[in-house]
Amino acid sequence: MDELQFALISAGISVLLSVITYNAWQRIKIWRALPRSLPTELKPKEQVEGLSDERALLDSAQTSFQPQVDHTQYDAAANGTTLSIAPAEPTNDLPLTNANRDARLVSIIDRRIDCIVPLHLSAPMAAEKLMPLAQRLRRVGNKPIFIEGKPSDNSTNWQSLQPGGRYQALRIAVQLANRSGPLNELEFSEFITGAQTLADTLDAELDCPDMAETVAMARELDAFAAQCDVQLSINATSDDAPWSAQYIQAIATHDGLLLSRDGMRFIKLDAKQNPVFVLQFNNINFLRDDLTYKGGQNITFLLDVPAADEDVLPFRLMCHYASSLSQRIGAHLTDDRQRALSTAELAAIEQQLIILYAKLEKVGMPAGSPLARRLFM
Ligand SMILES: *[C@@H]1O[C@H](CO)[C@@H](O)[C@H](O)[C@H]1NC(C)=O
Ligand SMILES: *[C@@H]1O[C@H](CO)[C@@H](O)[C@H](O)[C@H]1NC(C)=O
Ligand SMILES: *[C@@H]1O[C@H](CO)[C@@H](O)[C@H](O)[C@H]1NC(C)=O
Ligand SMILES: *[C@@H]1O[C@H](CO)[C@@H](O)[C@H](O)[C@H]1NC(C)=O
Ligand SMILES: *[C@@H]1O[C@H](CO)[C@@H](O)[C@H](O)[C@H]1NC(C)=O
């Protein structure tokens, strides 16, 4: 937990910033004091690079828009293809292109965050028979379940069940933890019961994992995730009159931010179409509320650290965007303690982020990877 010592920081321009860090895993806001000794200053060159990164990103986001996609259900773009993290819901509003159809053939089940139960089939089986049964097993308690098959055409790869497919073996997995906590005994038992029922229906054999061992692994993963689950937020406060929601919507849309499916936030996407940070405005629902009538004085920017790709420098990107927006619309980035902040403090928070990123990388779940995004959900 002590590694989570984040700081109040400044973008280094003549504005004040306030950064709230909190641990989403535990749903507790953690307010941290500024470190007194600060690491090295950022070089001006790095700042310029950061800004051009932002511009490049904004451009790419603008050219590749799809309206109203909820970032929690967002499809991950990996290696030029689209990989569905959540089991594909019928509500998925992305067209099923060849690219993302191929990507669904990619396996997502992973030993690091899933408890995997193999099912040995006595004979290859058609997807049409398996899929309705798999539909019944989507979750236990608040943990998602995934089912994958090994195609009978000699392929060695596991993949999610596809219409028209035939499978020689199945595996069924329950996620060991997500932001709702670790897999518990009850969820485990329910999962095994479900898997056993499926096995019986298919006349298959099942390798049952040990409950105590699995639950212990789930707790360990949960404890690890709790240490890495950090969110950072900054507010921009109006210099004078409140803004209307319509005005903020126009700005956010112009800047290439994408409205979430629930209408509650604008999402900044990176070049791979993954969320970087979000913008929220006074709890306004941009789909349902009367935007000419509603308004507010604070814009909140929020970065979900483990979910955003570290390579795009998401924190710096968010700070640059927040300060450039503030300059354009007459706002200041607010420090609730009315303190002036420096570039050194930005560097300090970035140092902390480097530690966090290294920690996630060490276990093979770099920030922004499909695995990290599935875990930190
Ligand atoms: C995409 O994946 C292929 C093989 O899986 C690999 O050879 C290639 O280098 C990858 N490309 C990128 C941009 O990661
Ligand atoms: C954990 O996963 C379950 C099942 O997919 C989902 O319903 C739940 O909302 C997730 N928890 C959080 C905090 O997102
Ligand atoms: C799988 O491989 C075996 C031997 O290598 C071959 O006899 C068989 O026809 C192959 N099956 C398919 C469906 O390709
Ligand atoms: C940011 O704004 C939100 C609501 O507008 C408020 O709840 C929150 O306390 C503000 N945070 C700071 C640091 O001012
Ligand atoms: C907006 O932010 C300022 C400073 O962070 C805070 O004092 C004020 O209460 C906030 N207003 C609302 C409506 O949340």
Looking at the structure, tell me whether residues 168 and 241 fall in a common domain.
no
| Residue 152 alpha carbon, nearest atom of ligand 3 | 13
Looking at the structure, tell me whether residues 217 and 283 fall in a common domain.
no
- Provide the 3-class DSSP secondary structure of residue 201: helix
d(CA 113, CA 176): 6
238-275 pLDDT, tens per residue? Answer: 888 999 999 999 999 999 999 999 999 999 999 988 99
Q: Give the residue, by CA position, lying nearest to ligand 3 atom 6.
A: 154
Looking at the structure, tell me whether residues 219 and 235 fall in a common domain.
no
DSSP letter at 150 equals: E
Looking at the structure, tell me whether residues 51 and 124 fall in a common domain.
no
C-alpha 201 – ligand 3 centre gap (Å): 27
* E-only strand ranges, 25-128: 28-30, 76-78, 81-83, 114-126
Ligand 5 binding pocket mutation candidate from 17, 238, 240, 297 (most atoms within 8 A of CB):
297
Token output for 169: 């073996």
Are 280 and 264 spatial neighbours (Cβ–Cβ below 8 Å)? yes
> Digits of tens for pLDDT over the chain (377 positions)?
333 333 333 222 222 334 555 556 644 333 322 232 222 222 232 333 333 333 443 333 332 222 223 332 222 222 222 222 222 233 333 344 454 555 557 789 999 999 999 999 999 999 999 999 998 899 999 999 999 999 988 677 899 998 988 999 999 999 999 988 899 999 999 999 999 999 999 999 998 999 999 999 999 999 999 888 888 878 888 888 999 999 999 999 999 999 999 999 999 999 988 999 999 999 999 999 999 999 999 999 989 999 999 999 998 899 889 888 988 999 887 654 544 445 666 677 788 888 889 999 999 999 999 999 999 88
Are 273 and 64 spatial neighbours (Cβ–Cβ below 8 Å)? yes
pLDDT for 166 equals: 92
> Has residue 101 been placed in a domain?
no
Looking at the structure, tell me whether residues 42 and 126 fall in a common domain.
no
For residue 144, what are the CA distances in angstroms to 109, 176, 249?
11, 9, 34
pTM: 0.69
Give, for 140, the enclosing helix (H) or strand (E). strand 139-140
How many residues would you count in the chain?
377
The total of structural domains in the chain comes to: 2
Looking at the structure, tell me whether residues 45 and 14 fall in a common domain.
yes
Structural domain harbouring 52: 2-78+229-375
CATH number of the CATH domain containing 355: 3.30.1400.10
Question: Per DSSP, what are the bridge partners of residue 160?
Answer: 148
d(CA 139, CA 145): 5
Ligand 5 binding pocket mutation candidate from 298, 332, 335, 341 (most atoms within 8 A of CB):
298
Looking at the structure, tell me whether residues 316 and 273 fall in a common domain.
yes
> Has residue 106 been placed in a domain?
no
pLDDT for 340 equals: 41
> Has residue 44 been placed in a domain?
yes
C-alpha 255 – ligand 5 centre gap (Å): 24
Are 201 and 121 spatial neighbours (Cβ–Cβ below 8 Å)? no
